[in-house]
Each structure stands twice: as structure tokens, then as C-alpha cells.
Amino acid sequence: MQDGMTRFKLVALGGTFDIIHRGHIELLRNGFSISSKVIIGLTSDELARKKGKIPINDYPRRYKTLEDVIKKNFPNSKYVISKLDNDFGPAVLEQEVEALIVSEETSSKGKDLNKLRTERNSPPVVVIVVPMALAKDGTRISTTRIKNSEIDADGNILS
């Protein structure tokens, strides 16, 4: 047990992970700190487009970068990167997942997932909301702000 938090056998989290920034690292850190294994749903290029996002990096590149970041920051962690073609990949709808880690802006996904799991007679997951990582100016770190050269991946102001 760490920090009095429940230890889970399997948790899930997801994202596009286009330009990996401190917010992503926090999301991953939360996953690895409470669970022995993490399923990471990585948005497919098609799904990103459907959501109106245009990733700078294509799926194979985002996959590789994500893997490198995990190896560097969370060595010896057990994880699976699974391709997401819709909001919830098969992995998250399976029985074994015990918790879903979401950021504040995607916290409603937890409710959606539990509704789907109920329909499939799977037990509900615990939804863990990770606060948004803030840049030095007090607004959240986002890939869009990094792309616009307002901030760097650690939230430092560039203007």
C-alpha cells in the first residue's frame, strides 16, 4: 500500500499522447503508483481525427515515444499499450480492469464507461480523477498550447 491508496491489479488510462507533457507523466505516474499493471489506451489516428484533433505524430510514432517515456520514467513497470478506435477499447470493457484514471477534463468518461460495463454485467470501475497539471501561468498544460509555442512540455512560459 502506498499513500493509503488501494492497490489495484489492473487499471486503465487513455490519451492521444501526441506531444508528451507533464500532464501525461502525472497521469502515468498515478497509474503506476496504484496498480501492478496499467493498460494504456492510445488513440488511433482515425479516432483523433474524428474528435477534431490533428496529431503532429502518427500512431506508430506516438506509440514509440510513449514506450520510451515509460521506460525512462517508470522502469520495470508492467503495461500494455492498446489501440483505441473508440472511447473505450475492449481492454477496458473486460472484467479485470478495476479502475479508470482520467484527467479533470475527461472525468465524465468514467460515468460513460460504468454505464457500458453495467450493460455487459461487468462490475463498475473506480474512477480516479487526476488534477490537470498547470503551467507556470496557472492555466493547464495542453498539447495545443505546446504546439502554439506558448509553453514547453514542463509548463514553462515561452512568450
The CATH number of whichever domain residue 51 belongs to comes to 3.40.50.620
- Examine residue 45 and state whether it is found in any structural domain, yes or no: yes
Dihedral in degrees, nearest 10, Cα atoms 144, 146, 149, 151: 120
Q: How far is CA 86 from the centre of its chain?
A: 14
All three cell numbers of 87, joined, read: 472511447
Q: Does any domain span residue 134? A: yes
The verdict on residue 154 lying in a domain is no
Q: 153 near 19, Cβ under 8 Å?
A: yes
pLDDT at 6: 55
Report if residue 110 sits inside a domain: yes
Residue range(s) defining the domain that contains residue 97: 11-147
User: Is residue 155 situated within a structural domain?
Assistant: no
Asked if the structure places residue 3 within a domain, the reply is: no
pTM listed for this prediction: 0.88
- The contacts found for 49-53 with CB under 8 angstroms, 24 or more apart, are 53/16, 53/18
Residue closest to 100 by CA, chosen among 50, 27, 42, 47: 27
Q: How many domains does the chain have?
A: 1
Tens place of pLDDT per residue across the chain (159 aa): 344 455 899 999 999 999 999 999 999 999 999 998 999 999 999 999 999 989 999 999 999 999 999 999 999 999 999 999 988 887 777 768 999 999 888 889 899 999 999 998 889 999 999 988 999 999 999 999 999 999 999 999 997
Residue 36 within any structural domain of the chain: yes
Q: Which residues contact 145 (CB under 8 A, 6 or more apart)?
A: 135, 139, 151
Residues in contact with 58: Cβ distance below 8 Å, sequence separation at least 6, in sequence order: 45
How far, in Å, CA of 110 to CA of 112, rounded? 5
DSSP string, 61-123: HHHHHHHHHHHHHSTT-EEEEEEESSSS-HHHHSTT--EEEEEGGGTHHHHHHHHHHHHTTPP
Question: Is 4 domain-assigned?
Answer: no
pLDDT of residue 23: 92
